[in-house]
Structure 1
Amino acid sequence: MAEVRLTGVTRKFGDDYGLNDVTMTVPDGSFVVLLGPTGAGKTTTLRMVSGLDLPDTGSVFIGGRDMAGLTPAQRDVAMVFQQYSLYPHLTVRENLAFPLRSPILRTPAAEIARKVAEVAETLQISHKLDNKATALSGGEMQRVSIGRALVRRPAVYLMDEPLSSLDAKLRSDLRVELKGIQANSGATLLYVTHDQIEAMTMATHVGVLDKGRLVQFGTPRDLYENPVSVYAASRLGQPRINVLPADVFAGAPQGASTIGLRPEQIHQGEGEDATVRRVERLGDQTRLHLAFRNHEIITVTDAHTALRDGDTVKIRPTAAFYFDAAGQRIA
């Protein structure tokens, strides 16, 4: 596998930035997830690494080698697109085997058969190997698309929201499988998603992008516990962080404009009165939707709480985040 390094990468589309001076290192053998809304620059980053697009300025290195002038085929990367990229006239088996039949790889027939069988079993499509791609459901087609990348051993895997079209159970299963495959193989994997659960459960590192800029890069725990801004804090966490005027509670530091409170940063049982607007029971936990001084707050409580709509509960912040008027974290 290989380290991926971007240094000062900028890509413009007309007057808009796809990427704006992005410098980032994807460590060898890591599972890096890029997070951000549509237009943040996630897919553009993948296209820079793959060579499908070229930076206006800056450089991309894979395994310490400058990729300038190299085509996608010369970069030794495997990419999974959000939309299926299958040959409709071929069977699932033939689609999976196709990358291995490249004259560059020259994979023996027995090795092709073994790798196709392994990947098909992992992705739960062994019973579909002799079906044409056109006879598959959308979720099955996406699994084959993922499989086409997994049968190879490239320097880097690039995946653009590969689980977005799958049902909830299969998406959960494949999160575990993909993480296991990456961990066991030592693969370097750069993965794009808007799903924070995928980021929290799969990533060794997370890169938060906003309008083409890299806002924060670190482990999921780093980003969750030490966000550099309101924007970064809002990318991870379910329920989302509560952002309120800083003076809604006493004790805000000088220069603070807003206070950020994750559900677990709201202590219950003492403090000031809040009214329960809704009790949301999820089995393993219960979410409380509270009204506090004309603001809505979401927190979590014991799964078997006796609280009901209209009850009063006392709350106070603990270990809160404070942000200035520009949304940047105040230490």
Structure 2
Amino acid sequence: MSEVKLSGLSKSFGATLAVDKVTMSIPNGAFVTLLGPTGAGKTTILRLIAGLEQPDTGDVVISGRSVVKDTPAQRNVAMVFQQYSLYPHLSVRDNLAFPLRSPLLKTPEDLIDRKVAEVAEVLKISHKLNNRATNLSGGEMQRVSIGRALVRNPSIYLMDEPLSSLDAKLRSDLRIELKRIQENTGATLLYVTHDQIEAMTMATHVGVLDQGRLVQFGSPREIYENPVNLYVAGRLGQPRINVLPADMFAGAPTGAKTIGLRPEHISQGEGKACDVRRVEHLGDQIRLHLSLEGHDIVTLSENRKNYEPGDTVAIQPRKPLFFDASGARIA
């Protein structure tokens, strides 16, 4: 595995600036997630690293060497796409073995057989090895697609929302499997998603993108607890952070326009009185949907106290985040 560095990377498509001067270091053995909405530039960054697109400016360095003039094959990266991208006429076994049979790798057949068997066991598709790719379920096809990358030993694995088309149970299972595989192999992995749960549960580092710009890069905990602006604060957290006028509670610093309150950072029992509008019982937690002076607030019931719509509960901030008029964080 290798360290990958992006330096001032930019890419435009016509009048659209897809990637805007992105500088980022992906440490050796790290699981890095790029998080952002559709159009933020996530996939374009993957394609620039893989060599499927050429940057307008900037550099891509893998293992200390610039690769911007290398072909995709010369870069030794493995990419998993959102769609399955399998060879329908081949069996699962041959789909998994296909990358290893590249003339550049010259992998012996006995080693191919062993690697295919190992990856199939990890992804729980050993019983499907002789099936045609077209005879698989959607989840099984995506497992094969991921497996085609895992059989190799590339400089970096690039994954473009590989779990987005799967059902919730399978997504949850494969999240755990991917993280376990990455930890056991020490692989360097760059993973694109718009799903904050994937970013929070799998990544060692998260890069938050906004309109092609890298807004913040750090550990999931750092970005969750210390977002640089309101946009980043809103990308992580479920339920989403509550955003209210800063003067709604006492103690706002000079220049603060809004206050951000995570649902778990709202104390109950003292403070301003709110109306309980709705109660969600989710098994491990109870969410309260409140109304305060015309503003909607979502918080968690402390001590799992039972509230009913129409009740009144007093709240006050705990660990508030303040932002100025532009959305920038105020310490």
Unaligned stretches of 5+ in structure 1?
none
> Any idea what the Cα deviations from partners look like across 1:13-48, whole Å, max 9, x if unmatched?
111211001100001110000000000010011011
**1:305: how far off?**
2.1
Question: Structure 2 length as normaliser, TM-score?
Answer: 0.98
- Counterpart CA distance in 2 for 1:84 and 1:330 is 44
Match in the other structure for 1:211: 211
Q: Is the 8 A contact 2:268 2:302 kept in 1?
A: no
Match in the other structure for 1:8: 8
Unaligned stretches of 5+ in structure 2?
none
Match in the other structure for 2:160: 160
**1:206: how far off?**
0.0
> Any idea what the Cα deviations from partners look like across 1:222-251, whole Å, max 9, x if unmatched?
000000001001111111101111112122
**1:255: how far off?**
0.8
Letter in 1 for 2:162: P
Match in the other structure for 1:69: 69
Question: Structure 1 length as normaliser, TM-score?
Answer: 0.98
Question: How many residues are matched?
Answer: 331
Report SS of the residue matched to 2:87.
coil
Match in the other structure for 1:17: 17
Letter in 2 for 1:329: R
**1:311: how far off?**
0.6
- Counterpart CA distance in 2 for 1:319 and 1:128 is 51
Alpha carbon RMSD of aligned pairs, Å?
0.9
Report SS of the residue matched to 2:107.
coil
Report SS of the residue matched to 1:298.
strand
- Counterpart CA distance in 1 for 2:230 and 2:316 is 20
> Any idea what the Cα deviations from partners look like across 1:266-306, whole Å, max 9, x if unmatched?
11111110111111011011111000110000011247422
Report SS of the residue matched to 1:290.
strand
Greater shift in the superposed pair: 249-258 or 271-280: 249-258
- Counterpart CA distance in 2 for 1:172 and 1:303 is 28
Match in the other structure for 1:281: 281
> Any idea what the Cα deviations from partners look like across 1:173-220, whole Å, max 9, x if unmatched?
111111111111111000000111111110000000000000000000
Q: Is the 8 A contact 1:6 1:59 kept in 2?
A: yes
Match in the other structure for 1:192: 192
Q: Is the 8 A contact 1:284 1:303 kept in 2?
A: no
- Counterpart CA distance in 2 for 1:252 and 1:15 is 41
Q: Is the 8 A contact 2:10 2:55 kept in 1?
A: yes
- Counterpart CA distance in 2 for 1:30 and 1:209 is 18
Matched, 1:83 2:83: yes
- Counterpart CA distance in 1 for 2:167 and 2:110 is 33
Match in the other structure for 2:181: 181
Aligned-pair identity (%): 70
> Any idea what the Cα deviations from partners look like across 1:96-153, whole Å, max 9, x if unmatched?
0101111111112121111111111211211111111111122211111000000111
Give 4+ residue runs of structure 1 displaced > 3 Å after superposition.
none
Report SS of the residue matched to 1:90.
coil
